[in-house]
Amino acid sequence: MNIKVETGRKFVHYLLLVFPAVCLAFFTIHTGRNAFSLIYMPTALLLIFFVVYLSPKVRVRFSGLVIFITALALRLICLKCWTITPLSDYLHGLDFSMKLANAKISEWSSVFSQNDYYYNVWSMHIPHKLYQTAALLIFGKSIYSIQLLNTIFSALSCVLAYLLARHLFNRKAGLIAGFLMAFNPTSLLFSALLTNQHPATAFCLLALLLYLARPFKGSIFISAFSLFVSQLLRPEMYVVLIALVCYEIYIGIMEGFEYKKFVSLLLCCTVFFLLLNFTDISLKNAGWSNKSMLDSNLKYKLAVGQNQDAEGRFSEEDYPLAGDEEAIERLV
């Protein structure tokens, strides 16, 4: 049989496996959350079971593409069926990004300085607001533009999870990881939220894949850059660096220390912190920030944390504290 025909036939087999789940998701989302939980997830797990155990018989080169199409379709369905109005900090972030999108770049320093919340307090979140602004400028000035870009990154994360698990274990483990992430209800729900997890997760997984697989020369530098971008969007990647250090120490103890691996880890950390500090200085020099984005603003978090009624969530009542250093000091 012609190779192209055989490949096409196998690709269609995979689509036939995932298409019923996409239709099922569309149906169950309309029937309410209980039906979604009771019908969708067991069926999705059963589907993943068949995909994984039929995969040796259905050899196809486009597993990553199938995972991406499935994940993207499910997330677009959720965007269509679930209307989630941004509130609290999501709403503040959207309004601020919209102001940037409506202003000229030469006027951005003025827009930033007028927003005390990001200019003086939460400078660490400025890169994510710039990401949202880019989405508004590229796809149109609508909340759906940001949600669309988020769904694309969320779907890419599923592919990267597949590739990472395949590299660490085998193809079957990769399929399980990719499809579980694609069908994960929490991930589907978050597709409609204006949160920074979507792009940050994708860049973090890309960084890990490049660091561990080393598919080409210079992978370490691109890995460090990807982790840096992830840190800009969601400032939690120090934990990943610590994990990589622990990983290399463990591998060194079990298999013997290698000079090249130590140099690679050192290069990755050095590039990461150099880029981070350069960006921090650049934001200040551009007049977009009056505070270091490396400052996690611990005092404000402690002050807000004392509001037990908020139960750890964002509170409009605590919002004015952002620019009141004296009030924060009193509470702390």
- Alpha-carbon distance 203 to 190, whole Å? 17
Sequence-separated (6 or more) residues with CB below 8 Å from residue 328 = 299, 300, 303, 321
How high is the pLDDT of residue 328?
61
Q: Amino acid identity, residue 43?
A: T
Neighbours of 285 (CB within 10 A): 9
Domain ranges in the chain are: 1-193, 196-296
How high is the pLDDT of residue 47?
66
Q: Amino acid identity, residue 88?
A: S
- Alpha-carbon distance 46 to 61, whole Å? 23
- Alpha-carbon distance 17 to 183, whole Å? 13
pLDDT tens for each residue of 61-103: 678 888 898 899 889 888 887 777 777 778 888 899 999 999 9
As averages over each run of 10 residues, the pLDDT of the chain (332 residues) reads 52 53 53 51 63 57 84 87 76 90 90 83 88 93 91 95 90 85 82 88 95 87 95 90 89 82 90 95 90 73 60 58 61 56
DSSP code of 192? Answer: T
Work out the percent of the chain whose per-residue pLDDT is above 70.
70
- Alpha-carbon distance 158 to 147, whole Å? 17
Half-sphere exposure of residue 32, counting CA atoms within 13 Å on the CB side? Answer: 2
How high is the pLDDT of residue 324?
61
DSSP code of 314? Answer: -
- Alpha-carbon distance 79 to 192, whole Å? 6
